[in-house]
Structure 1
Amino acid sequence: MTKICPNCKTENIDSADFCQNCGAELPKFTYNVPPSGETPGTKKGGWWGKQTTPVKILSVVGVCCVGLIVLLFMVGLLFPDATTFNLDTGDTPALTQTFSEAGLTFNYPSDWSTSSVKYIDSSTSNVQSLGTFSSVNGLLLDVNKQDMTGTVESAKEGTKANLKTIPSAQILSETTKTVNGLTIYEMIVTYTDTSSNREAKSLYVITGKDGQVAYYLQFIDDPGDFNSDQELMNSIVNTIKIQ
């Protein structure tokens, strides 16, 4: 605490009665002198110190929001898949129906027609038909089952060998992937349908359990429609499960 001389404004010690500079009599009360460069009543901390509590809260919230936006933008640049949400299903129909037969389950569009005709073909090692599905655009799906003691890969190789015996058949590609813990073998094949003498393009899908059963899904399509229908085929395949 100090006393300010009313005559020359000199700061004096609290116990002084007369100004040490000009000798004027000092007042009996004292002043709390603010630090250099600060006048009485001035808040500390520059602009921030002058702000009220609500303003400070709004400022902090605003900075946090801007920081979050910048963070999401950076994540989007570095990891585009992490911030991409597929809200538009495009032209791919929703797979709202479920097929479940003989241990095999998959989903397919509700507007597909189905045939539940089942038969045993003794000429092809007890292959059982589980049904045929068809879309309004002409895409067909034929589903078969075969009990066996070999591996699913051997079933795939057997199908491949049979295709090679067909003069018009041409295997365009072979892939292997994992769906719901299952190994899925796929082959894309073109051939001439002998019954209609028309070109066709197929996606052969083979999966199952080694030493127990193999399932064969054959998508049959017009070559001109195959590429546009392939996303739907893949969507159906990705729902395959075996009990």
Structure 2
Amino acid sequence: MKNVLKRSIVVISFVLLIICAVSWVNAQDDDSDITMMTLSKGGLVINYPSNWGCAQAESNCSIMSIAKLDSIDASGVGQVNINFEKKSYEGDFETYLNNTYGTLKKDPSFNLTASGEVMVNNVHAYEYTYSSEKNGTVKEHKAVWFEKGGQAYVMLYSAPVSEYDDNVYVFNYILSDIQIT
């Protein structure tokens, strides 16, 4: 009887070990082979995951642009992207931002959903979230603006509505880790 009990405990332990191992393997994220990459341009240093890469920017003021690799189209533009821009401006920074978003509000496809002040790497910044429609595609955007040395910097995340929530963590990580030189 003792031998049967011992064998049963061994078999049950072995089965539980197998179940735990299979569960652990299944729980591993498909992104386990992702490494962090670094990009430095225009006074900014960012770290981003290797399933994102350099992409074409649609803005002439862009200093760098990255996109989720599987979202880059034939022209090199990412549909899920983060664009970094640097612009000269005159006058007060807040007035510049108010004028920028005042102009955007005139576009009927633009819908500002939130705005406020934030800190980026100990630098005072302004955050705007909004949606827009272009060529039948509705995108959500998150823009963070800050000023340094008389230049306006904006970090802009854009994605189709269906992909926004799944990828905004990359923008938030970069924002929390960005180095402003």
Shift of 1:155: 3.4
| Structure possessing the higher radius of gyration over alpha carbons | 1
Shift of 1:204: 1.3
TM-score with structure 2 setting the length: 0.67
Residues 129, 141 of structure 2: 8 Å contact kept? yes
Shift of 1:90: 10
Q: Secondary structure at the match of 1:238?
A: helix
Q: What amino acid sits opposite 1:179 in the alignment?
A: V
1:158 corresponds to:
99
Q: Does 1:135 align with 2:68?
A: yes
1:213 corresponds to:
151
Which among 44, 50, 53 is matched to residue 110 of structure 1?
50
CA distance in 2, matches of 1:223, 1:207: 25
CA RMSD in angstroms comes to 3.0
CA distance in 1, matches of 2:96, 2:158: 20
CA distance in 1, matches of 2:132, 2:33: 27
CA distance in 1, matches of 2:127, 2:100: 11
Structure 1 residues 130 and 206, CA, compared in 2 at 3 Å: closer, same or farther?
Answer: same
Residues 148, 212 of structure 1: 8 Å contact kept? yes
Q: Does 1:198 align with 2:131?
A: no
Residues 152, 206 of structure 1: 8 Å contact kept? no
CA distance in 1, matches of 2:96, 2:33: 31
Structure 1 residues 92 and 160, CA, compared in 2 at 3 Å: closer, same or farther?
Answer: farther
CA distance in 2, matches of 1:231, 1:199: 20
Shift of 1:192: 0.5
1:99 corresponds to:
39
Q: What amino acid sits opposite 1:115 in the alignment?
A: A
Residues 150, 212 of structure 1: 8 Å contact kept? no
Q: Secondary structure at the match of 2:177?
A: coil
Q: Does 1:235 align with 2:173?
A: yes
CA distance in 2, matches of 1:92, 1:152: 42
* Unaligned 5+ runs, structure 2: 1-27, 72-79
Shift of 1:228: 2.4
Residues 118, 131 of structure 1: 8 Å contact kept? no
Residues 99, 105 of structure 1: 8 Å contact kept? yes
CA distance in 2, matches of 1:200, 1:118: 15
**Larger RCO, structure (CA 8 Å, separation 6 or more):** 2
Residues 95, 107 of structure 1: 8 Å contact kept? no
CA distance in 1, matches of 2:180, 2:94: 16
TM-score with structure 1 setting the length: 0.52
Shift of 1:231: 2.2
Between the two proteins, the alignment pairs up a number of residues equal to 146
State the percentage of identical aligned residues. 22
Judging by fraction of residues, say which structure has more strand: 2
Residues 41, 64 of structure 2: 8 Å contact kept? no
* Unaligned 5+ runs, structure 1: 1-87, 121-127
